[in-house]
Each structure stands twice: as C-alpha cells, then as structure tokens.
Amino acid sequence: MALLLETEDLHFSYHGFEPCLSGVTMAVNAGERIGLVGHNGAGKSTLLHLLVGLNKPSSGRIAAFGRDYQSEEDFRLLRRRVGLVFQDPDDQLFCPTVAEDVAFGPLNLGYSIQDAMCIVDETLASLGLSEFRERITHKLSGGQKRLVSLATVLAMKPDILLLDEPTNALDEKTTRSLIDILVNLPQAMVIVSHDRAFREEVVTRTILMEGGQIR
Ligand SMILES: Nc1ncnc2c1ncn2[C@@H]1O[C@H](COP(=O)(O)OP(=O)(O)OP(=O)(O)O)[C@@H](O)[C@H]1O
C-alpha cells in the first residue's frame, strides 16, 4: 500500500497547558480508513488539527505525499490535499446558502464560477443533497449541516479525508447513508468516532490514543 501521510514523534501543547500530544508516530496508507479512538480528551481532535496545519507541532515531523511540511506555505499546499470535516459543522459553514458554502473551496482553488457551480451540483448530487442547494445554511438541521460540511470538503477533491465525529447528530437513516457514502469514496481517511457500530462498518484499521500517545 502506498504511504500517503506520516507523522514522527509529534509533540504539542496548547499555549500555557500541559503536553497534549506526546510522541505521536503514525502512518496513513492509500485505501485505508483509520478509526482513531480513545477517551474524551485523549488528543484525537488535536491530532487531526495538526495533520492539516491548524496547529503547529512543538516538535516532530509531518510528511505527506513524499515531502515534509513545516512552513505555513507547506501547510497551505497540504490543505489542498487533506480535507478536514470539523466536529462542529458551524465551524465549517459560514456562507448564506448551501451552494455558496460548497462553492467556496473550489473558488478558492481558482476554479471559475461556472466550473465551481458544476462541482457544487456534482458533489451535492453524489451525496443525495441536491434538494438543499439553495437552502439557507444556518437554517438546516444539525444532521443536514453535517452532510453539507462533508460536501464542502469533498468539493475540494482531497486525497485524504479527516472526519471528526461524523455521526454526531445523525439519525439512523442518515448514518446509514453516510456509511454507504464513505465506504464508496476513494479517499484514505482518518475518522475520529465514538460510534462503535459505525466504525465496525467503515474503518479498516483502528488506532487507540491515550493521554496524547498512541497505544
Ligand atoms: N484550545 C485549547 N486550549 C487548551 N486546551 C485544549 C484546547 N483544545 C483542547 N484542549 C485540551 O487538549 C486535550 C485534548 O483535547 P482533544 O479535543 O484533542 O481531545 P479528544 O480526544 O478529541 O476528545 P473528545 O473525544 O472529547 O472530542 C484536552 O485535555 C482538552 O481539554
């Protein structure tokens, strides 16, 4: 399996706090859907945020697609290829309508408005969300917002998807749709989830975190 992303001996502390990640070494290979599990506060979300450069490690190495990532410019490039679906959709969605939210990433990547709108239509259709296209984003339900968040990330055609508690606020039927969507996507994934039944259907390998370390 081709190695896509790896970390070596990552350490991280929030400013003024005790160490949160201590020596995290892990690898993501093509075709894998890794379940990242552990108690509340183990450092799972923090690790996802480091993997896309939202926070910088205090030491250690992050490499992806054959190169090391250190500067903000490096992480800007990395964010084109690694997409993070946040735990809270309100952190991800900020445009008036669903179409504008989904178009935001492609427009930022330099697509024309016409091409971005084609991507919006394709992405929403692939997730069964076409009916939400013109809806006002902040008026969607929690579960609907979560699926639209996934659409905003998929519209950027990432090589790796990071998902933080993707089944939060989803009912059984929507969770079923999400499972079917995820297992049919080509991207490698790292998925933080406390939902055991969901993980059993989706993940191909599990990594356990405890106290900021991988066990
Ligand atoms: N911005 C912050 N400033 C200070 N401490 C933080 C901050 N964000 C998270 N932490 C702390 O870092 C530790 C790891 O938090 P993190 O959210 O990564 O854990 P988690 O494993 O994702 O937990 P959960 O399963 O509850 O989502 C926790 O002790 C948390 O309180």
Residue from 13, 14, 51, 199 whose mutation best tests the ligand 1 pocket (most atoms within 8 A of CB): 14
Rg for the chain, CA atoms, rounded? 17
Q: Which of 56, 69, 77, 28 is nearest to 191 (CA)?
A: 28
Atom of ligand 1 nearest to the CA of 212: 14
Residue 53's pLDDT band, with cuts at 50, 70 and 90, is confident
Task: Give the rounded distance of the alpha carbon of 111 from its chain centre.
Answer: 22
pLDDT at 60: 96
* CA atoms of 129 and 124, how far apart (whole Å): 5
Quote the ligand 1 centre to 203 CA distance (angstroms). 23
pLDDT at 214 over 80: yes
Mean pLDDT along residues 178-205 = 96
Ligand 1, atom 30: nearest CA belongs to which residue?
41
Query: Cβ < 6 Å from ligand 1: which residues?
Result: 14, 17, 20, 38, 40-46
**Domains detected in the chain:** 3-214 (3.40.50.300)
Q: Which of 32, 23, 29 is nearest to 50 (CA)?
A: 23
CA angle 39/93/172 to nearest 5° reads 55
* CA atoms of 197 and 201, how far apart (whole Å): 7
Quote the ligand 1 centre to 124 CA distance (angstroms). 32
* CA atoms of 119 and 145, how far apart (whole Å): 18
Specify the DSSP class assigned to residue 6: E
Mean pLDDT along residues 8-21 = 95
Quote the ligand 1 centre to 4 CA distance (angstroms). 26
Q: Any bridge partners for residue 163, and if so which?
A: 85, 191
Quote the ligand 1 centre to 168 CA distance (angstroms). 17
Whole-number average pLDDT of the chain: 94
Ligand 1, atom 17: nearest CA belongs to which residue?
45
CB atoms within 10 A of CB 153: 22
Mean pLDDT along residues 154-174 = 94
Strands (E) located in the chain: 3-13, 19-29, 33-37, 59-64, 67-68, 82-85, 160-164, 188-192, 205-210, 213-214
- Note the pLDDT tens digit of each residue in 88-121: 999 999 999 999 999 999 999 999 999 999 999 9
Helices (H), 68-163: 72-81, 98-108, 113-126, 142-154
Least confident of 81-85, 156-160, 169-173: 169-173
Quote the ligand 1 centre to 126 CA distance (angstroms). 33
Which helix (H) or strand (E) element contains residue 182?
helix 172-183
CB atoms within 10 A of CB 183: 13
* ipTM value for the complex: 0.97
Residue 73's pLDDT band, with cuts at 50, 70 and 90, is confident
Residue from 36, 37, 44 whose mutation best tests the ligand 1 pocket (most atoms within 8 A of CB): 44
pLDDT at 1 over 80: no
